[in-house]
Amino acid sequence: MARHMLPQPGLGTYRLKEQAVIDSVTSALELGYRHLDSAQMYENEAAVGKAIRQSGVPRDELFVTTKIWWDKLEPKALTGAVEQSLENFGLEQLDLILIHWPSPGEEVPMADYIAALDAARARGQTRHIGVSNFTVAQIDQALGLPGGENIVTNQIEVHPFLANRKLVEHCQAKGLDVTAYMPLAVGKVMKDPVLERIANAHDVSPAQVALAWIAARDIIVIPSSTNPANQKSNLEAMNLRLSDEEIARIDDLDRGDRQANPSFAPDWDE
């Protein structure tokens, strides 16, 4: 098992803003979620913070993650971004701050922004640090830099159509947690006949099967949902046990179908 197990599952908040994210976080916390995943780019940190305060859940029971966008990686800008996030959330400390994407074209040297991020940890502004969308080579580079030894996770896209096996196994071998974003492939899992058949056999949904398959790989999932019923079923998916044969059938769905591939993305591992 990895060094720091992030709470499983987490609640993703991408594309959710204002009252929508407040309602989503509120219902998730009521259901028992304790891991909330946000980012500066989502423009919802203040709303998430408001939902946390209104929930009455003790701060020390929560695990709150945010991410620094790639245009704020120069050390001074990164330091300011961390302070801005704390102000947005209305929190004195975050649990995890991630580099959202590696610097495009290495415009900002990785050593600079990893050191600046770790300095935020040393100041007590975050308990942990991590990265997102880093390739095998970038993970190795980051772990070898001053401050890099404190990286606890790489948050990457993982779902049945993009198993991302090489990168997942590399991170886990290095002692890092892997956090899976877009674990439902933006809803595509709901229409897959293989997942549907396995779901029917267990009397669950294809989404639950997809989440259980990821969790069985010792990966943290952060599905996004505004529907309390779906949030509940996502939580219950953590108790679903798939057979080796079912897992093998889902493994065969991998086709490198990447949903998040912006122009500034790194050169992905095959």
pLDDT at residue 3, as a whole number: 43
Architecture of domain 11-185+219-226: Alpha-Beta Barrel (3.20)
Give per-10-residue mean pLDDT for the chain (270 aa). 72 94 98 98 98 97 98 98 98 98 97 98 98 98 98 98 98 97 97 98 98 98 96 97 98 97 94
pLDDT at residue 270, as a whole number: 76
Annotated active-site residue in 14, 33, 42, 181: 42
Asked if 117 and 87 touch (Cβ cutoff 8 Å), the reply is no
Asked if 156 and 139 touch (Cβ cutoff 8 Å), the reply is no
Judge whether 100 is annotated as a binding position. Answer: yes
pLDDT at residue 2, as a whole number: 39
Active site residue 42: yes
